[in-house]
Amino acid sequence: MAFEGFCAQAMDFLIENRLQNSKEWFEEHRERYEAWVLRPMRAMVEELTPTMLDIDPEFTVEPKVGRTISRIFRDVRRVKDGFLFRDEMWITFMRRKRCWEGQPGFYFGFGPDGLAYGYGYYQATPAAMEAMRGMILRKEPLFVQAMDAFSRQTCFCMNGERYKRSRFPDQPPDLRDWLDRKTLSFDCRSTDMDTFCSPRLVPLLADGFRQLAPLHAFFSAVEERRPHRQPAVSQG
């Protein structure tokens, strides 16, 4: 199935479904979810797959919910506001999604506030950020290449919570921008519904992701150097 763009009703469905907050209502309108949200997301993943595997052959690329596509149901164990459904959906491309915590990845998402895509951590582990800072301070080649790739583009902004006070006051400002964050991502946000509803969206994402490929190489090296917590293995 070729990606032809999302329909404008996709956003409306996510909002209404969240407000209805009813599994019965969702099941009665599941066909809308399948046609307006899920099928275009599957087609998007399939069309992006060659680009993503060119960036990293280890990426998970299955066009399935729970693999590259987010679940519309929220985790009831963590629901505190009473809403059972998400009003945002996203796709992700990352390594070993089920094996390690806190992996960085490429993403595209949409919801009431518009569209967003980019690369980085949703929430980096302290160990990952410490490993990253070490590579930055040593000015290792992968970091230099990542920094150069970021400086040459104009779409993506650096984001991530900063420490209230710089931990590296003697470093130049461009390095402190990287060093003084608790997590790190590079994001492009838009409210361009014409592109959202057009086949042009996939080439736009592919081009942006290719621009960020050097950052993925750097972050992957960070992940290889930081200690990982493996999931517990059940006994018996």
**pLDDT tens-digit map of 140-157:** 999 999 999 999 999 999
Per-residue confidence (pLDDT) for residue 1, from 0 to 100:
80
pLDDT of 231 over the 70 cut: no
Structure tokens at 107: 């993403």
At 229 the pLDDT is: 56
Confidence at residue 159, expressed as pLDDT on a 0 to 100 scale: 98
Quick one: pLDDT at residue 101? Answer: 60
pLDDT of residue 77: 72
Is residue 234 one of the residues assigned to a domain? no
What is d(CA 140, CA 218) in angstroms, rounded to the nearest whole number?
A: 9
Tell me whether residue 162 is in a domain.
yes
Q: Is the pLDDT of residue 78 over 90?
A: no
Flag whether 1 is in a domain: no
171 falls within a domain: yes
More confident residue, 226 or 9: 9
Average model confidence (pLDDT) across the chain: 93
State residue 154's pLDDT score: 96
pLDDT at 214: 99
- The residue segments making up the domain with residue 101 are 9-225
pLDDT tier, 80 (very low <50, low <70, confident <90, very high otherwise): confident
**Residue 228 banded pLDDT, cuts 50, 70, 90:** low
pTM beyond 0.75: the answer is: yes
Residues of the chain with pLDDT > 90: what percent?
87
| Residue 93 within any structural domain of the chain | yes
In a domain? residue 14: yes
Q: Would you say residue 24 has pLDDT above 70? A: yes
Q: What are phi and psi of 24, to 5 degrees?
A: -65, -45
Q: Judging by beta carbons within 10 Å of its beta carbon (0-12, 13-18, 19+), is residue 99 exposed, middle or buried?
A: exposed
Overall number of domains in the chain = 1
Residue 97: its pLDDT value, please? 59
Instruction: Indicate the pLDDT class of residue 100, thresholds 50, 70 and 90.
Output: very low
Does the residue 173 lie in any domain?
Answer: yes
What is the rounded average pLDDT of the residues 180-195? 98
pLDDT over threshold 50, residue 47: yes
What are the residues whose beta carbons fall under 8 Å from the beta carbon of 207, sequence distance 6 or more?
none
The strands making up 105-111's β-sheet, listed across from edge to edge, are 89-93, 105-111, 114-120, 185-190, 157-159
What CATH number corresponds to the domain at position 56?
3.30.930.20
Q: Residue 13 above 80 pLDDT?
A: yes
Segment 114-140 mean pLDDT: 97
In a domain, 233, yes or no: no
Tokens for 76, please give them.
Answer: 């009831």
